[in-house]
Amino acid sequence: MRIPIKKILLATLLLNIFFICKAQTVDFSFQNPNLSIEERAEILVSQMTTEEKMKQLLSSAPGIDRLEVPSYDWWNEALHGISRNGKATIFPQGIAIGASFDPVLAKKLASAISTEARAKYVISQSMGNRGKYAGLTFWTPNVNIFRDPRWGRGQETYGEDPYLMSKIGVAFVNGLQGENSKYMKSTACAKHFAVHSGPEELRHHFNAEPTKQDLEETYFPAFEALVKEAKVEGVMSAYNAVYGKAASGSAFLLKETLRDRWNFDGYVVSDCGAIGDIYKGHKTAKTKEEAAAIALITGVNLNCGHSYRLLHKALQQGLISEELIHERTKQLFKTRFRLGILDKKGAPNPYAHLGPDKIHCEEHIALAREAAQKSIVLLKNKNNVLPLSKNIRVPYVTGPFANSADVLMGNYYGVSPNLVTVLEGIADAVSLGTSLNYRSGALPFQKNLNPLNYAPVVVGQSDATICVVGISADMEGEEVDAIASPSKGDRVNLRLPKNQVDYVKTMIEKKKDRPLILVIASGSAVSLEGIEEGCDAILQMWYPGEQGGNAVADVLFGNISPSGHLPITFPKNVAQLPAFEDYSMKGRTYKYMTKEPMFPFGFGLTYSSTKFDNLVLSSTKIRKNKELTISVDVANTGNFDMDEVVQLYVSPLKNTENLPLTSLKGFQRISLKKGEKKNIVFNLSPEDLKVINKKGEKVWLKGTYEILIGNSSPSPLSQKLGAAIPLKNTITLR
């Protein structure tokens, strides 16, 4: 049937009049920053249609012109600098930040990142770039415990200890979100909740069944700290299942624990595609619509993926209600209001003044160098071959990663015009009269094709050889990114690639009496069996960021004394580890491992020497309502200024509740001039002295405990490797 043109025009006119009238009745008071966040979110979302609300639950949220709500893409990354969004400062990878044992530094780094983010956001908005990675809602940090060194994404975390993870994580979130009482600078997101740390290949369908004790002792603490202490704005649900329920559809995780127990008042986002895994991976939903409904009901506000495009079908089928859609949407707009990005024009925002001069500025470049310096761990220094003289006549730099920019960045990286490789850092550090020589000598992970290789011969002709080996984010990382990994990002064993091992062995044979210094790039533990004994010095540089080469040179040539400490245990080999798929903590990390590793948690040498003295406890018999104060004198008895990480551990002498063998309960990073002594004080509250029993309950457990203060975890191996002699005493909990 043909409709007369007059009727079409009339209908169009009436429709336009309808929308004009409707626009005139919009209540724009939600743009008023003086109203409460709750009021503003309710006013705005109440004026949306149900269809508009459902579209806002997707990570790429469309604009609503009649409400003056611009489009917004929630997906943004800032693991160790703004990622995937053009020029930005690249700071050291997460595991390196953990190795610094420095929450103050972590907060500075995150504050610099959010400063650059705010500046970039203004520029992006002005040019109409509202796409992925251009926003202010960062999906970082990763606070999954690094329980097994084979996990490729462990590099993103701060280590294997929940206490260290919590302290660094809280500081990082505080830096990202800022300290303004009204506006957030940017928002952080604790991921991946929960019990998620490999294998990557199984992450879409495996079911984690930790004991309640392991759950509360190991897997939950960092998430709880970020929610309760740092007020983290976002939490990302994991791909895997926990106790038979997909993490993105787990009422136990998202409602009972996160909302009810921890009083979380932020948004929950699914890991990308994780809601679809409820249906296709875990098979706990019969249809895709049901999977979307399960996630919405249990508490996922935001879908990274496509599952929530089916919410209209779930609504039609009666699986969800309009009221639930309204509440989930409102939570998302509370976040956007907290950022101030929906305020009326001209509203005062404390971060509006941040401009392009703050992006990759000199201050941030210097901070990247400082962070890399503080994260480098000196694992060996035979006969004090380090530091080297800057006037060394013939230094030799070699190894597959000596001139590599890739190993500076790790994964989830930004783009910098100022990447300084180890070779470049050394070239800039040594005297102009030095005959610096360089040959790569070996390929990163495959055998050299040309059998003629002069590189090992040069070792015996040089005053010192610096060999940079390791792995890169091509070899370890997330399943979709580690393109050189045969195991989807994870590591089958902990050894260096065979061709690198062979090359190091050849250099050991050729070096005669010349020092060989090994510099290792990696985001995880590396087994050095068969080559450690032939190396005179070993530095672990991690993935050190854009200033990594300068920082390594600063350490090698004594501009600073190394001060990083291991945030993870370095096993001798994979035979020392339990099955990767087993989520029991038995035999894992320094807290439960009974076998002697290659290098222990907390270990790290300096060019100076540390002496601990005068350990004083406020009491040796403690009742549950009393605080324990511990003081110790720490002296620099060597010839170099240094930073030291003073570590406090508590160990049960009688273990009837399957407790950790020992636990880090405090640490302080301090600076000491040569000859200087400082008195360090730790205060442990009654809550700090409680333990998690077999039932997963936090209890005051009477008994005798050993207190140890040193610069490494308790182990005879620590002193054998050169750690300071620790001080010990016992307390009795009554």
CATH code of 702's domain: 2.60.40.10
277 is catalytic: no
Q: What is the pLDDT of residue 17?
A: 41
d(CA 519, CA 525): 13
Helix crossing, 103-126 with 362-375: angle to 10°? 150
Distances (CA, A) of 684 to 16, 700, 733: 68, 13, 13
Asked, for residue 701, whether it belongs to a domain, the answer is yes
Q: What is the pLDDT of residue 585?
A: 98
Asked, for residue 120, whether it belongs to a domain, the answer is yes
pLDDT at 720 over 80: yes
pLDDT at 22 over 70: no
d(CA 146, CA 673): 34
pLDDT at 2 over 70: no
Asked whether residue 105 falls in the same domain as residue 207, the answer is yes
Asked whether residue 525 falls in the same domain as residue 621, the answer is no
d(CA 383, CA 601): 23
Asked, for residue 214, whether it belongs to a domain, the answer is yes
pLDDT at 13 over 50: no
The count of structural domains within the chain is: 3
Q: What is the pLDDT of residue 189?
A: 98
Asked, for residue 353, whether it belongs to a domain, the answer is yes
* Closest to 685 (Cα-Cα) out of 603, 622, 638, 633: 622
Asked whether residue 248 falls in the same domain as residue 321, the answer is yes
CATH code of 528's domain: 3.40.50.1700
Asked whether residue 669 falls in the same domain as residue 548, the answer is no
Asked whether residue 343 falls in the same domain as residue 384, the answer is no
Buried residues in 505-536 as b, exposed as e (16+ CB within 10 A): ebbbebbeebbbbbbbbbbbbbbbeebbeebb
Select from 358, 381, 410 the last residue of a domain: 358
271 is catalytic: yes
Give the DSSP letter of residue 708: E
d(CA 290, CA 310): 9
Asked whether residue 468 falls in the same domain as residue 564, the answer is yes
pLDDT at 8 over 70: no
Asked whether residue 87 falls in the same domain as residue 120, the answer is yes
Q: What is the pLDDT of residue 346?
A: 79
pLDDT at 5 over 80: no
pLDDT tens profile 625-680: 899 999 999 999 999 999 999 999 999 999 999 999 999 999 999 999 999 999 99
Select from 313, 333, 358 the last residue of a domain: 358
| Predicted model pTM | 0.95
CA atoms within 13 A on the CB side of 416: 30
pLDDT at 143 over 50: yes
* Residue 628 domain boundaries: 610-733
Asked, for residue 6, whether it belongs to a domain, the answer is no
Q: What is the pLDDT of residue 347?
A: 82
* Closest to 332 (Cα-Cα) out of 628, 55, 569: 55
Tokens read off for 35: 């109203």
Residues 6+ apart with CB under 8 A from 494: 149, 150, 524, 525, 526, 527, 571, 573, 574
CATH code of 205's domain: 3.20.20.300
How close are the terminal C-alpha atoms of the chain, in Å?
A: 91
Residues of the chain with pLDDT > 70, as a percent, come to 97
Catalytic residue among 476, 536, 643, 644: 476
pLDDT at 4 over 80: no
Asked whether residue 311 falls in the same domain as residue 391, the answer is no
Residue 575's SS3 state is helix
* Closest to 270 (Cα-Cα) out of 243, 244, 291: 291
Phi, psi of 647 (to 5 degrees): -120, 135
Q: What is the pLDDT of residue 24?
A: 57
Asked, for residue 602, whether it belongs to a domain, the answer is no
Asked, for residue 449, whether it belongs to a domain, the answer is yes
Range 489-508 average pLDDT: 96
The per-residue DSSP string of 3-27 comes to PPHHHHHHHHHHHHHHHHHHHHT--
∠ CA 639-644-650, rounded to 5° = 135
Cα dihedral 73/78/82/86 (nearest 10): -50
Task: Identify which has the larger pLDDT, 449 or 592.
Answer: 592
Catalytic residue among 116, 148, 233, 271: 271
Enclosing H/E stretch for 548: helix 548-556
Residue 647's SS3 state is strand
- Contact in structure between 665 and 688 (CB atoms under 8 Å): yes
Asked whether residue 437 falls in the same domain as residue 563, the answer is yes
Asked whether residue 166 falls in the same domain as residue 255, the answer is yes
**Phi/psi-derived region of residue 675, left when phi > 0, alpha when psi is between -120 and 50, beta in every other case:** left
| E strand spans, 522-602 | 537-540
Asked whether residue 382 falls in the same domain as residue 294, the answer is no
Phi, psi of 570 (to 5 degrees): -100, 100
Tokens read off for 166: 């919590």
Asked, for residue 293, whether it belongs to a domain, the answer is yes
Asked whether residue 350 falls in the same domain as residue 385, the answer is no
CA atoms within 13 A on the CB side of 437: 19
